[in-house]
Amino acid sequence: MPIIDAHTHCYPAEVYQNPRAWAEANHESHWADLVEPIGRKSIQAWATPIEMLRDMDAAGVEKAVLLGWYWEQFETCVWHNDVMAHWHREAPDRFIAFAAVQPATSPGQIIYELERAADLGLRGVGELHPGVQGFDSTSEGWLALADWCVAHDWPVNFHVTEAAGHDHPGSVATPLNDFIRMAKQHPELRLILSHWGGGLPFFEQNSKLRQALHNVYYDCAASPLLYDANVFRNCVNLVGIDKLLFGSDYPLRVFPRQQKSADFKRFIDYIQSETDFSAAELDQLFRGNFCKLLGL
């Protein structure tokens, strides 16, 4: 079964040779706290395009979505979009790239960068993080971004912090109510809420919210770091299999005690062996739902 991974990341060697020094030089302190926490061992790994394609081939991953990061600085978003465009040109049939955007920037700058990203071949936006990037559903920059994405049929991916759970270095809250407001503001906008939406699928049991969230999807990125395997069936019961997307968060080591380097295969094998999904459900999770979402 060919697989599409809807949640991966890419960085050039200049970043991971000394992540904290690079982050400090570019005023991206939050990213440094996540990938190189002080006093704790990092679970972040790195990969070149060749290494990533090798790992994709080993796991049967046909395509991977390269997500931008929720950078604090607009200039870093511009730089990262050029990086992802380069990766996409290296393997256009394997990589799909989403644009890094800073929604706290002026609407004019945002629209300019979205148009530039589209010219580079990018096809969506994200990850975004309201808490880290300093915006919410009322921000002019966010509203301009959302309007543009609706007009151009681009989905938007958000990092969502679990609503209740353990703290970790760099953890910043993402209020679930604001995602609901965003969905209501732009009912045609397709939102992807990462990491199981921080628990938002539970609240879709409210029939009024379910209607408002009809265009909201949830990915399972980094799931083994957060929940046990029951979360897969539980979320199917809550929102249906057609709203779920496979995402690995590659090159994050989501099984840090078992992985010395990043790979796709371990997480894919885990889903296939530890859930009770039928072949049809696995096909939707691993491929079908994202194909419909992006019109592939």
Q: What is the CATH code for 3-294?
A: 3.20.20.140
Q: What pLDDT shows up at residue 104?
A: 97
pLDDT the model gives residue 175: 87
Residue 108 neighbours by CB distance under 10 Å: 10
Is 37:169 a contact under the CB 8 Å cutoff?
A: yes
In the chain the first and final C-alpha atoms are separated, in Å, by 16
Instruction: Supply the pLDDT for residue 39.
Output: 85
Q: What residue ranges do the domains of the chain occupy?
A: 3-294
Q: How many residues does the chain have?
A: 296
How far is residue 189's CA from residue 148's CA, in Å, rounded to a whole number? 10
Per-residue pLDDT tens listing for the chain (296 residues): 799 999 999 999 999 999 999 999 999 999 999 999 888 889 999 999 999 999 999 999 999 999 999 999 999 999 999 999 999 999 999 999 999 999 999 999 999 999 999 999 999 999 999 999 999 999 999 999 999 999 999 999 999 988 777 666 567 778 899 999 999 999 999 999 999 999 999 999 999 899 999 999 999 999 999 999 999 999 999 999 999 999 999 999 999 999 889 999 999 999 999 999 999 999 999 999 999 999 98
Residue 166 confidence (pLDDT): 65
pTM of the model: 0.96
Question: Which pLDDT score, from 0 to 100, does residue 58 have?
Answer: 97
- Structure-block tokens of residue 26: 């570019």
Please say whether the beta carbons of 220 and 192 come within 8 A. no
